[in-house]
């Protein structure tokens, strides 16, 4: 290898798999690759003095026993400080008709604090006081169990205190840098 650093890997479209060595993955290539992974869309919220909302798709279930989920939040985000301070968060899973909420909570020019929830239909979570957005596909309230370093993000592991879901709505999905309407309805049991 010639040069002072690793050669970039993952600079574009799918082709031959490069040989394993110590090459670096470029951030733009990682973003493009991850855009090919369809995700649900959520709004993370905190309540009280640190009331805040943020659109996020870095969310996943972790464990059924005990019930745990995780979300990843950039260290420079207001939500990072809010979760750290309140030691709790709520997650609203958006339905296909709630793209406007995903865009609203991704817009950095919206009001700060509790004022960002003015005019929206929501209720405070019974355990955390964090806003739970109405007409959603599902919601969860979580107590912060652990926080892990994840590069420029923190991984917040939450113990689920309560959750609810709706059977009659479709999911809002994010894929390829755009919103899409997904499947929905009551899940079918297999086995």
pLDDT tens by residue, the chain, 191 residues: 334 444 444 555 555 555 555 567 777 788 888 888 889 999 999 999 999 999 999 999 999 999 999 999 999 999 999 999 999 999 999 999 999 999 999 999 999 999 999 999 999 999 999 999 999 999 999 999 999 999 999 999 999 999 999 988 899 999 899 999 977 655 544 44
In a domain, 160, yes or no: yes
Residue 164 sits in a domain whose CATH number is: 2.30.110.10
Domain count of the fold of the chain: 1
pTM of the model: 0.83
Alpha-carbon gap, residue 27 to 135, rounded angstroms: 35
In a domain, 106, yes or no: yes
In a domain, 1, yes or no: no
Alpha-carbon gap, residue 144 to 68, rounded angstroms: 10
**Residue 7's pLDDT is what?**
41
Strands (E), the chain: 8-9, 24-25, 39-40, 42-46, 52-56, 59-64, 67-74, 88-93, 122-124, 131-133, 138-150, 153-165, 170-175, 178-184
In a domain, 185, yes or no: no
In a domain, 82, yes or no: yes
**Residue 150's pLDDT is what?**
95
With vertex at residue 158, the alpha carbon angle to CA 157 and CA 163, rounded to the nearest 5 degrees, is 145
Peptide bond into 66 cis (omega under 30): yes
**Residue 24's pLDDT is what?**
72
Note whether 75 and 147 are within 8 A (CB): no
Residue 66: which domain range?
28-176
What's the first-to-final CA gap in the chain, in angstroms?
53
In a domain, 23, yes or no: no
In a domain, 12, yes or no: no
**Residue 190's pLDDT is what?**
46
Q: Count Cα neighbours of 120 within 13 Å in the Cβ-side half-sphere.
A: 23
In a domain, 18, yes or no: no
């Amino acid at each position: 290898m010639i040069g002072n650093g690793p050669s970039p890997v993952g600079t574009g479209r799918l082709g031959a798999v490069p040989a394993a060595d110590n090459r670096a993955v470029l951030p733009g290539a990682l973003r493009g690759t991850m855009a090919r992974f369809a995700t649900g869309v959520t709004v993370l919220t905190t309540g009280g003095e640190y009331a805040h909302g943020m659109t996020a798709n870095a969310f996943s279930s972790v464990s059924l026993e005990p019930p745990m989920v995780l979300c990843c939040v950039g260290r420079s985000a207001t939500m990072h400080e809010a979760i750290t301070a309140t030691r709790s968060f709520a997650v609203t899973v958006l339905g296909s008709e709630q793209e406007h909420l995903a865009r609203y909570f991704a817009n950095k020019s919206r009001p700060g604090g509790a004022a960002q929830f003015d005019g929206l239909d929501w209720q405070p979570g019974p355990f955390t006081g964090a806003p739970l957005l109405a007409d959603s596909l599902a919601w969860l309230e979580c107590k912060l169990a652990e926080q892990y370093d994840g590069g420029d993000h923190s991984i917040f592991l939450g113990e689920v205190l309560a959750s609810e879901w709706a059977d009659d709505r479709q999911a809002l999905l994010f894929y390829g840098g755009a919103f899409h309407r997904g499947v929905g309805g009551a899940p079918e049991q297999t086995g």
